[in-house]
Amino acid sequence: MPTTAVRRTPDLDDAALAAVRALLDAAFGGAFADEDFAHALGGVHALVHHEERLVGHGSVVPRQLLHGGRSLRTGYVEAVAVAPDARRQGIATAVMDALEAVIRADHELGALSASEDGAGLYAARGWLLWEGPTSVLTTEGRRRTPEDDGSVFVLPGPVPLDPRGELTCDWRDGDVW
User: Is residue 85 in a domain?
Assistant: yes
User: Is residue 103 in a domain?
Assistant: yes
> Domain with 95 in it: what CATH number?
3.40.630.30
User: Is residue 30 in a domain?
Assistant: yes
User: Is residue 86 in a domain?
Assistant: yes
- Give the chain's end-to-end CA distance (angstroms, integer): 34
pLDDT at site 1:
83
User: Is residue 23 in a domain?
Assistant: yes
pLDDT at site 57:
98
Dihedral of CA atoms 87, 89, 93, 97 in degrees, nearest 10, equals -130
Give the domain range for residue 13. Answer: 3-170
Contact by Cβ (8 Å): 4, 94: yes
pLDDT at site 90:
94
Give the pTM: 0.95
What are the φ/ψ torsions at residue 72 (nearest 5 degrees)? -105, 125
User: Is residue 176 in a domain?
Assistant: no
What whole-number distance in Å separates Cα of residue 120 and Cα of residue 114?
A: 9
**How many domains, the chain?**
1
User: Is residue 148 in a domain?
Assistant: yes
Q: What is the mean pLDDT of each run of 10 residues along the chain (177 residues)?
A: 95 98 95 94 98 97 97 98 94 98 97 92 96 97 97 95 97 95
Residues 6+ apart with CB under 8 A from 121: 92, 93, 96
User: Is residue 177 in a domain?
Assistant: no
